[in-house]
Amino acid sequence: METMPSFICILLFLSILLSYFYSKKQKKNKQKQKMLPPGSMGWPYIGESLQLYSQDPNDFFAKKQRRYGDIFKTHILGCPCVMLASPEAARFVLVTQAHLFKPTYPKSKEKLIGPSALFFHQGDYHTHLRKLVQSSLSPKAIRKLIPDMEEMAISAMESWAREQVINTYHEMKKFAFEVGILSVFGRLDEKYKGELKKNYCIVDKGYNSFPTNLPGTAYNKAILARKKLNQILTEIICERKEKRLLERDLLGHFLNFKDEKGKTLTEDQITDNIIGVLFAAQDTTASALTWILKYLHDDHELLEAVEAEQMAIYESNGFGNKSLTWAQTRNMPLTYMVILESLRMASIISFTFREAVVDIEYEGYLIPKGWKVLPLFRNIHHNPEFFPDPKHFDPSRFEVAPKPNTFIPFGNGVHACPGNELAKLEMLIVVHHLVTKFRWEVVGQQRGIEYGPFPVPQQGLPAKFWKEVNIHHNPEFFPDPKHFDPSRFEVAAKSNTFIPFGNGVHACPGNELAELEMLIVVHHLVIKFRWEVVGQQRGIEYGPFPIPQQGLPAKFWKEVFNHQI
């Protein structure tokens, strides 16, 4: 009888042991049932990196999507990756389950920007910093920058007009950097600005170079320039603190920050985030601006329509005597659609890197912990299901808002670009002054795309720029130009000041026919008919050419004249 308790204990122990192994086996079987997404991992170690960089990266991803569907695996840049090409998958990674995926960047790039920069982090630190950046780059904050941004844009364009041919992308990078400096520091001393620009350019060149830290290499020079940037920024910060300047720019927000425990940001955290903002503000905006110029240049009818929209604003501002207002930048519908379509077509940010922090199941597939996860923005933007005829540049497609999560040029979720309003404002200002004051011509047949790392037209879009005077409304040639006064043509206009049909070899060859049509219509209209405009038609519509509002609704009737001899 005494052996019974011992026997029961042994049975209990064995049953627990069997249960443990059974559950472990079940878990293992369940894990096996979860399959990795379809796809190819390529060669050992190098994966499919050679295939990726030996062709247009967008073609590489598009072929994979056609073959395997919206979720597939590959191995690039030394990492196993899962690619996601549907709006739902992008939202899963960036919004609804963002806590399961952390931002990830190569250590070499993190070192150049600074490990404390906003976009390398998650959690409370990221939340606090994001709020600071968003508040200093909000519509309320950036509207006061418009006059300075206009001044920078006009100055840049005038410098382009003095050159024979410019690299449009490189010049747009210079302009975007100036705006970045303005948003971070306000009006910065030229001495500091020059030093920041010089050293930042060295960092920029080394950022996409092979990360070999040997003396003389681009990466090594970038590391040294990054240390110099730290010194310059520390000087600026100390000067601000000493003078107790309470500026409302981004640096001011950083310096005034205290968390709920009263903790402030360190100088290293501030400098890393300033460089991060400058980095984010430059290349992507410059690339987008370069594409906008190319798309407008390639569609003359669209360019004329945008010019007409902007000329109406330009004239209402006294032909440039007044600065653009925030309200005017919100009322450029065609120009804004051109910007949105340029962002869709070019898809400057083709994808973003995340890393799975745990094993994740999505759509029946396993995404293993540690694997890189890439939502493919460009594949979504070029999917004919969401954007019919996606390779055709058509701003009118944005007359109706795209379906949710199908248009994400600035990312999505907590890591979406906090400076997107500033970037769009830059684009609107550049287009306004470019089409109202300048003309440009692309040099050569620029049809290819280069990646460095963002897509830009081949050779950075070489172009010639020249200044265009708005002759017909210039009070120097036509006094009181807004007043309709046919008598001003009793005396011939000065040479080259009246060119309604253009000038030179591309002048309209049918101008005599057009003038004859007008004379005949006016002749018969005034001697045989009368008309009356319906309603108060004072506005102008563009479609693409300027016409009176609603096409000038009017009543016409035949008039019988009694002539006495």
Report DSSP letters for 252-311, one per residue. Answer: HHHHH---TT-PPPPHHHHHHHHHHHHHHHHHHHHHHHHHHHHHHHH-HHHHHHHHHHHH
Mean pLDDT, range 483-493, rounded to an integer: 90
Distance CA 239, CA 228 (A): 17
Residue 172 lies inside a defined structural domain of this protein: yes
Distance CA 40, CA 61 (A): 12
Asked if residue 417 belongs to a known ligand binding site, the reply is yes
Contact 339, 333 (CB under 8 A): no
Best mean pLDDT range from 61-70, 131-140, 331-340:
331-340
Report residue 565's pLDDT band, with 50, 70 and 90 as the boundaries.
Answer: very low
pLDDT tens digit string along 453-468?
788 898 999 999 988 7
pLDDT tens digit string along 307-328?
999 999 998 888 778 999 999 9
At 1 the pLDDT is 45
What angle is formed at CA 354 by the lines to CA 351 and CA 358, rounded to 5 degrees? 150
| Same domain for 255 and 167 | yes
Q: Identify residue 547 by its one-letter amino acid code.
A: I
Best mean pLDDT range from 49-53, 125-129, 194-198, 318-322:
194-198
Q: Identify the CATH number of the domain in which residue 121 sits.
A: 1.10.630.10
| Same domain for 286 and 357 | no
Containing structural domain, residue 289: 115-186+247-346+407-467
| Same domain for 560 and 411 | no
- For the chain, the domain total comes to 3
Question: Looking at the predicted structure, is the pLDDT value of residue 32 above 50?
Answer: no
Mean pLDDT, range 404-427, rounded to an integer: 93
At 562 the pLDDT is 58
| Residue % of the chain over a pLDDT of 70 | 90
At 287 the pLDDT is 95
Identify the three-state secondary structure at position 190.
Answer: helix
Contact 269, 151 (CB under 8 A): no
pLDDT tens digit string along 417-432?
899 999 999 999 999 9
Q: Identify the CATH number of the domain in which residue 36 sits.
A: 3.30.43.20
Question: For residue 206, what are the CA distances in angstroms to 115, 337, 508?
Answer: 17, 35, 51
Question: Looking at the predicted structure, is the pLDDT value of residue 564 above 70?
Answer: no
Question: Looking at the predicted structure, is the pLDDT value of residue 375 above 50?
Answer: yes
| Same domain for 338 and 272 | yes
Comparison of pLDDT for 199 and 105, the residue scoring more: 199
| Same domain for 377 and 303 | no
DSSP label of 206: H
Question: Looking at the predicted structure, is the pLDDT value of residue 247 above 80?
Answer: no
Residue 89 lies inside a defined structural domain of this protein: yes
Identify the weakest region by mean pLDDT among 18-22, 161-165, 186-190. 18-22
Question: Looking at the predicted structure, is the pLDDT value of residue 388 above 70?
Answer: yes
Contact 369, 359 (CB under 8 A): yes
Distance CA 65, CA 374 (A): 13
- 564's torsion region: left (phi>0), alpha (psi -120 to 50) or beta? beta
Exposure class string for 108-138: b at 16+ Cβ within 10 A, else e: bebbbbbebbbbbbeeeebebbbebbeebbe
| Same domain for 368 and 333 | no
* Nearest Cα to Cα of residue 424 among 139, 135, 119, 136: 139
Exposure class string for 155-186: b at 16+ Cβ within 10 A, else e: ebbeebbeeeebbbbebbbebbbbbbbbbbbb
At 277 the pLDDT is 92
pLDDT tens digit string along 221-244?
999 999 999 999 999 999 888 877
Supply the DSSP string of 210-255, one letter for each residue: -----TTSHHHHHHHHHHHHHHHHHHHHHHHHHHT----SHHHHHH
Contact 173, 287 (CB under 8 A): no
| Same domain for 454 and 339 | yes
| Same domain for 315 and 168 | yes
Residue 203 lies inside a defined structural domain of this protein: no
At 18 the pLDDT is 61
Contact 156, 174 (CB under 8 A): yes
* Strand bridging mode 546-548 / 554-558: unpaired
Residue 19 lies inside a defined structural domain of this protein: no
Question: Average pLDDT of the chain?
Answer: 87
| Same domain for 423 and 280 | yes
| Same domain for 420 and 557 | no
DSSP E strands, 317-412: 354-356, 360-362, 365-367, 372-375
At 5 the pLDDT is 57
Residue with tokens 């590489």: 60
Residue 171 lies inside a defined structural domain of this protein: yes
| Same domain for 98 and 75 | yes
pLDDT tens digit string along 87-103?
999 999 999 999 999 98
Distance of CA 256 to the CA centre of its chain: 29
Residue with tokens 């990795």: 36
* Nearest Cα to Cα of residue 330 among 436, 421, 430: 421
DSSP E strands, 406-461: 438-442, 449-451, 455-457
The model's pTM is: 0.78
Residue 486 lies inside a defined structural domain of this protein: no
Question: Looking at the predicted structure, is the pLDDT value of residue 450 above 70?
Answer: yes
Identify the three-state secondary structure at position 82.
Answer: strand
Roughly what angle, to the nearest 10 degrees, separates helices 146-161 and 420-437? 50
Query: Residue 30: CA atoms inside 13 Å, Cβ hemisphere, count?
Result: 7
Instruction: Count other C-beta atoms under 10 Å from residue 358's C-beta.
Output: 11
Q: Which two tokens stand for residue 391?
A: 């390779």
Residue 436 lies inside a defined structural domain of this protein: yes
Distance CA 554, CA 533 (A): 4
Q: What is the dihedral of CA 340, 344, 347, 349, to 10 degrees?
A: 60
Residue 459 lies inside a defined structural domain of this protein: yes
Mean pLDDT, range 195-209, rounded to an integer: 90
| Same domain for 452 and 369 | no
* Nearest Cα to Cα of residue 249 among 116, 142, 114: 142
Q: Residue 103: beta bridge partners?
A: 354
Distance of CA 518 to the CA centre of its chain: 45
At 260 the pLDDT is 84
